[in-house]
A and B are shown apart, each in its own frame.
Chain A
């Protein structure tokens, strides 16, 4: 059973004073099913309806029509809420509390055991990189990055099974991003279902197993992403026909040659490994292999259909030439239709 089910969700807002300006549709029939343990990214332009979708999933907003269920229950079911964590985009935390008091306040609101409160909160603060000094400081004196870390720690209270992250790495330094990735990896391994609303497309592509592209209140595309593709650069280059034959033999497909790079489509990470092995066994020195970065950017800018789903590059020279396209192995990413209705 999917962890989160959204069926034909419609939500509109009144426009102007007292709704005199009519209504503007934020969600126009969104349907979506998210399996337990999935990490799903929601991307789309400003005003696309991403935050409204998140608001409906969290029970903050009442849809005009449609249905949302979490673990088979209503979104405002207290059992669902007890298993939910949320990192808001706008970090309006209780500024008068210290970081530790803020954590303990939310730990108590989550109705978690008092006996382990202090230890749980300090462990979470440490996990996001906030030390004892920061924990004792008032939230009002936190920097933007510290607030983001504190909000993430707060979202992790009670080891939530459903985690909603709205722009989770906005304002976070590189070290914080590494911490964030580690936490997401651990959450994913623990079976938590994670939804990430973000404009950081490269990060979404890196951490999510699936990406939902929302535009004008509709889901326009869903893409599965891969995890841990290899980067390859090889020499000497072989003829295109030979590369195509090697690819077919390894269960991949040759997408084209653009010196010094060649692009392939592979089914998954194991397929990438098979292809690299096939290339090496054929006497091709694999210098480098990497994912097809920027696929989400193309999706975002509306050129996804023109882009290959996956690429790999072969270079006749070990020295990469500047301005060459990224060389990569990527699993195929055919658009996945939404559960029912609503998708363009």
Chain B
């Protein structure tokens, strides 16, 4: 991890009008929903999309702009770069979500229906794993192509999965439905901490699946970056 890279990435993302606009749109409506309905449930789905917004193009935009050549002249390893990008996107998304939850909680207190501490804590823990997981997937996709190709890859895969799911349902092919479900889980890795508050044993399969997905995504990103040549001569 490289604090300089993390700091610079966060500064760049959090001063980008386009990304800030998208984050605003992604959070303002759920906050409005909390004000009306008085439940944290409304804001629970923002973590994945916000990580998506912040991490999109994390590596690809550096690749297509050409700034990586100056970066890798410095004593910075490519693994350090990949992990720093991932951690920065995770920290940024997690921080924005925490801010949103804080506003939602204050609104609920004002409404006279404060959230349960356990529910709030579970939401925060779930958010941490969702932002880390979604950021890892976007970092992996971003390492595969320049610019915002990762967004295209993610959307294309999701659309394909949806179409195949419909086909699986129409043809009654359970194997296809299962495969599509797994791909969706990989593209949006989440890990629920509900077991912690429901006093049931944790799902070690779910934990292992989340950990392996995140590790694999980062390993693929690192491998791709290590194999990548940097020069406009090879564009």
Contact = CB atoms under 8 A, between A and B. Distances in A.
Interface of A: 13, 26, 51-52, 55, 58-62, 78-79, 81-82, 84-86, 88, 90, 92-94, 96-97, 105-106, 108-111, 154
Given A62-B229, A92-B66, A110-B75, 5 more contacts: A51-B233, A59-B72, A61-B234, A79-B75, A111-B75
Contacts of A108: 4
Interface residues of B, number: 25
Given A96-B15, A109-B4, A52 B231 contact: yes
B8 A88 contact: no
B69 A88 contact: yes
Dominant SS among interface residues on chain A: mixed
Contacts of A58: 69, 73
Nearest to A51: B233
A53 to B, nearest CB: 10
A90 B4 contact: no
B231 A154 contact: no
A94 B67 contact: yes
B85 to A, nearest CB: 14
Interface centre among B15, B67, B70 (most CB of A within 10 A): B70
Interface of B: 2, 4-5, 8, 12, 15-16, 65-67, 69-77, 229-234
B70 A154 contact: yes
A13 B233 contact: yes
A81 B8 CA distance: 20
B20 to A, nearest CB: 13
A60 B230 contact: yes
A106 B67 CA distance: 12
- Interface centre among A88, A90, A109, A154, by most chain B C-beta atoms within 10 angstroms, is A109
A154 B8 CA distance: 16
Contacts of B234: 13, 61
A61 B12 contact: no
Contact of B233 (A55, A79, A154): A55
Contacts of B66: 88, 90, 92
Contacts of A92: 65-67, 70
